[in-house]
């Protein structure tokens, strides 16, 4: 541990009066996209699950198709990096401790070193030269990207000039956002995340002890009222400029869990593109107010229930890994340690977009193949009426394929599969539990708990013993789809299970 911080997000808060924010919802995004009120369904492309951009205007698809945070599908193929140039913050959140940092922790707000804008540019060029999947550079703190925006904007400007093929992105608590939308737009930032945890100051006062605004510290409900008004005003201004907005909300049981559906409606009405409801992290060891006061985070089932409730016609992000403010790589992996400041001189970065361009072209073709394979498997399914969906997990290292060994997986990606297709519903981490191999009962128990509710895990490879042990616990570990496409395999597996069940019913009927 050294200096640094733990937080969950970019910031966040709610609004003025008991119900809704006193800001007239304006209509009409600059690019004609009306935000989250698109029709849902299995063909949804932006985030929730599927592939085909049938429900997205082409100019919006163009912005999200290679952004791993804005498109669930893109997160199989593309990497992001955060540069930690913004250590200062202008609010205090009860889930954040600005003194904490640990290289082994993977949470928002945590960094191992702070960068100047010049160092940040070198790091971006070094990563870009070695990670062809890189498509996005974001500034997510470790404080608030807009608390002292000069460093943030200097960094973004330098990257825009020297590496113009990379997308720019930033995260903020929104307090300062309305003052800076013009400049954000002028710099070509086309994705902004605002952390909004409430629109009701009565809820907010239990999340935010204070904010610093217009040269004053504000506390109590007043603080949350100002914060919420500013957040929603910022969101509306982003929409006017055609900048895609993602809303992060930290789910805090007993504090805002019953209120987030209202937040969802408020941000939807103001044109947010995507809502990311994520679980509170509240380990007492992190020294946050919530951690020290015994406030618990939600269970995976509670989180999913709330996400399902909010989904309706709004895009929900379910693939967030709550990454660090200096994360590098695909979501779920972190290569930050390869690119620390002391290593930058020897990495001798040069700008060459060719490898990334070639990679993007290849992904384009690969995606078309994956879509076609999924379509074939769906058509091969016999028609059914209202069969219950199956929860199936996959082990993947990216690329949209089942290409990870059961025992090496740091996480499993969980899909809900039925006759309409496979929908991503979340990931389950194993690295928290499964450190010492699979030999002992405790590790097995932990794995079974991690996979609670899951019928099967599709993997590239699995040992004989763990497969048997998982089978005993009622979870099939299957390597029949090794190195095949994720979604097509899930549908094929579902079809196989259904055929087996039908066969059993037939035999039972005959007997």
Partner 1 sequence: MSYRIEAARCTGCTACEPLCPNGAIRESGRGYRIDAALCTRCEGFYDQPQCLAVCPIPMTVVLMESETCA
Q: List residues near partner 1 by CB under 8 A.
A: 3-5, 87-90, 92, 98-99, 114, 143, 147-148, 150-151, 212, 215-217
Q: How far is the CB of 89 from partner 1 (least distance, A)?
A: 6
300, 325, 414: which is closest to 106 by C-alpha?
Answer: 325
144 vs 229, which CB is nearer to partner 1? 144
151 vs 185, which CB is nearer to partner 1? 151
Q: How far is the CB of 147 from partner 1 (least distance, A)?
A: 6
Q: How far is the CB of 110 from partner 1 (least distance, A)?
A: 13
Is-contact 316 48, C-beta < 8 A? yes
135 vs 288, which CB is nearer to partner 1? 288
98 vs 304, which CB is nearer to partner 1? 98
Q: How far is the CB of 338 from partner 1 (least distance, A)?
A: 24
What is the greatest pairwise CA distance in the chain? Answer: 81
**CA–CA distances in Å: residue 231 to residues 16, 247, 360, 443, 500:** 11, 10, 34, 44, 52
Q: How far apart are CA 440 and CA 236, in angstroms?
A: 54
142: preceding bond cis by omega (within 30 degrees) = yes
5 vs 264, which CB is nearer to partner 1? 5
Angle of helix 486-510 relative to helix 354-380, nearest 10 degrees, comes to 20
Is-contact 80 137, C-beta < 8 A? yes
Q: Which residues contact 379 (CB under 8 A, 6 or more apart)?
A: none
141 vs 279, which CB is nearer to partner 1? 141
114 vs 246, which CB is nearer to partner 1? 114
216 vs 464, which CB is nearer to partner 1? 216
Q: What is residue 457's three-state secondary structure?
A: strand
127 vs 223, which CB is nearer to partner 1? 223
Q: How far apart are CA 310 and CA 246, in angstroms?
A: 14
Q: How far is the CB of 99 from partner 1 (least distance, A)?
A: 6
Q: How far is the CB of 385 from partner 1 (least distance, A)?
A: 57
Q: How far is the CB of 120 from partner 1 (least distance, A)?
A: 14
Q: How far is the CB of 1 from partner 1 (least distance, A)?
A: 12
Q: How far is the CB of 92 from partner 1 (least distance, A)?
A: 6
Q: How far apart are CA 314 and CA 439, in angstroms?
A: 43
Sheet holding 456-458, edge to edge: 421-429, 411-418, 390-394, 456-458, 476-478
Is-contact 70 191, C-beta < 8 A? yes
Q: Which residues contact 193 (CB under 8 A, 6 or more apart)?
A: 10, 69, 140, 169, 170, 171, 172, 245, 246, 247, 248, 276
């Amino acid at each position: 541990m050294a200096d640094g911080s733990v937080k969950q997000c970019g910031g966040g808060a709610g609004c003025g009066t008991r119900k809704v924010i006193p800001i007239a919802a304006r209509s009409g995004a600059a690019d004609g996209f009306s935000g989250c009120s698109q029709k849902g369904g299995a063909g949804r492309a932006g985030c929730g699950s599927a592939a085909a951009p049938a429900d997205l205007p082409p100019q919006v698809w163009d912005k999200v198709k290679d952004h791993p945070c804005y498109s669930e599908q893109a997160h199989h193929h593309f990497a992001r990096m955060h540069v930690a140039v913004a250590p200062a913050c202008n609010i205090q959140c009860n889930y954040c401790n600005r003194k904490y940092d640990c290289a082994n922790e993977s949470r928002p707000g945590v960094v191992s070193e702070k960068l100047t804008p010049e160092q940040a540019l070198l790091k971006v060029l070094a990563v870009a030269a070695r990670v062809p999947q890189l498509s996005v550079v974001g500034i997510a703190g470790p404080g608030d990207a807009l608390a002292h925006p000069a460093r943030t904007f200097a960094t973004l400007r330098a990257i825009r000039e020297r590496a113009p093929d990379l997308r720019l992105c930033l995260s903020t608590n929104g307090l300062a956002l309305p003052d800076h939308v013009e400049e954000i737009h002028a710099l070509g930032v086309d994705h902004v995340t605002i952390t909004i945890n409430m629109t009701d100051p009565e809820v907010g006062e239990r999340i935010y002890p204070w904010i610093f605004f217009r040269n004053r510290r504000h506390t109590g409900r007043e603080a949350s009222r100002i914060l919420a008004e500013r957040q929603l005003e910022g969101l509306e201004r982003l929409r006017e400029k055609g900048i895609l907005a993602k809303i992060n909300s930290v789910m805090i049981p007993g504090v805002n869990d019953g209120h987030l559906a209202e937040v969802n409606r408020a941000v939807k009405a103001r044109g947010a593109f995507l809502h990311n409801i994520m679980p509170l992290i509240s380990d007492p060891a992190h020294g946050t107010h919530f951690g020290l006061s015994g406030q618990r985070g939600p269970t995976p089932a509670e989180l999913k229930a709330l996400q399902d409730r909010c989904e309706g016609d709004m895009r929900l992000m379910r693939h967030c890994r709550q990454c660090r403010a200096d994360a590098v790589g695909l979501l779920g992996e972190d290569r930050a340690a390869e690119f620390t400041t002391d290593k930058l001189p020897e990495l001798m970065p040069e700008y060459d977009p060719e490898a990334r361009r070639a990679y993007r072209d290849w992904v384009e073709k690969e995606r078309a193949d994956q879509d076609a394979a999924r379509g074939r498997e769906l058509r091969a399914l016999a028609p059914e009426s209202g069969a219950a969906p199956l929860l199936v997990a996959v082990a993947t290292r990216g690329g949209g394929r089942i290409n990870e060994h059961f025992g090496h997986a740091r996480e499993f990606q969980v899909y809900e599969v039925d006759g309409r297709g496979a929908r991503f519903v979340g990931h389950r981490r194993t690295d928290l539990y499964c450190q010492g191999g699979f030999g002992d009962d405790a590790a097995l128990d932990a794995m079974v708990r991690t996979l609670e509710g899951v019928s099967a895990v599709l993997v590239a490879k699995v040992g004989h013993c763990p497969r048997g042990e998982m089978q005993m616990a009622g979870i099939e570990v299957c390597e029949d789809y090794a190195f095949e496409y994720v979604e097509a395999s899930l549908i094929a597996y579902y079809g196989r299970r259904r055929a087996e069940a039908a066969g059993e019913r037939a035999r039972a009927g005959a007997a």
